[in-house]
């Protein structure tokens, strides 16, 4: 059974660890999920009280490489985990987007949902897919899968 706020915990971990596939850097490189000094798990469990474990993680500092000088020397700056965490939150957490951006995204989604779903040849295309990727079990269950592929999006 997943935790009540599993998605918040997953977001918290992603904000701390960053996301290399989206070019979002870690707020605390090398931090462990469970550890002796400070850990993601301990900070998560202490997030509401903002006690020792939360502060111990969030107010750690580390040296971040930000570039190089004209002579090739590394250019570094001292950063706090909390500041980097907040930067990642603005980048990753879509609920932190400005209201105008959220309204435009909702409008784009509503316009897409209003369009009729093109359902021609979905069954044939699905069987071609199964053949191309060697999926005979899916091909035997084609009617089950084609039913939801033809359904389109439900209106909100």
pLDDT above 80 (res 131): yes
Q: How many residues are listed for the chain in this entry?
A: 156
pLDDT single digits (tens) 81-93: 999 999 999 888 8
96/69: higher pLDDT: 69
- pTM of the full structure: 0.65
At 25, the pLDDT band (50, 70, 90 cuts) reads very high
Q: What is the mean pLDDT of residues 5-31?
A: 91
Q: Are 63 and 28 in contact (CB under 8 A)?
A: no
Between CA 69 and CA 62 the distance in angstroms is 20
The rounded radius of gyration (Å) of the Cα atoms in the chain is 23
Residue recorded with tokens 């021609």 = 120
pLDDT of residue 5: 84
> Could you please report the per-residue DSSP string of 31-94?
--SS-SS--HHHHHHTTTTT-HHHHHHHT-EEEEEEEE-TTS-EEEEEEEHHHHHHHHHHHH-G
- pLDDT band, residue 118 (cuts 50/70/90): low
Residues 6+ apart with CB under 8 A from 151: 117
Residues with Cβ within 8 Å of 125's Cβ and at least 6 positions away in sequence, in order, are none
Given a cut of 90, is residue 2 above it in pLDDT?
no
pLDDT digits (tens, 9 = 90+) for 40-63: 999 999 999 999 999 999 999 999
């Amino acid at each position: 059974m997943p935790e009540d706020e599993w998605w918040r915990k997953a977001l918290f971990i992603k904000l701390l660890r960053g996301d290399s596939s989206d070019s979002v850097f870690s707020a605390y490189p090398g931090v462990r999920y469970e550890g002796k000094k400070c850990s993601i798990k301990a900070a998560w469990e202490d997030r509401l009280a903002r006690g020792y474990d939360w502060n111990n993680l969030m107010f750690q500092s580390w040296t971040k490489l930000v570039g190089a000088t004209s002579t090739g020397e590394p250019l570094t700056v001292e950063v706090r985990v909390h500041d980097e965490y907040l930067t990642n939150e603005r980048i990753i957490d879509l609920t932190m987007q400005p209201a105008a951006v959220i309204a435009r995204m909702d409008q784009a989604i509503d316009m897409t949902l209003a369009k009729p779903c093109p359902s021609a040849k979905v069954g044939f295309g699905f069987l071609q897919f199964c053949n191309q990727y060697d999926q005979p079990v899916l091909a035997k269950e084609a009617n089950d899968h084609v039913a939801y592929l033809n359904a389109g999006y439900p209106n909100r």
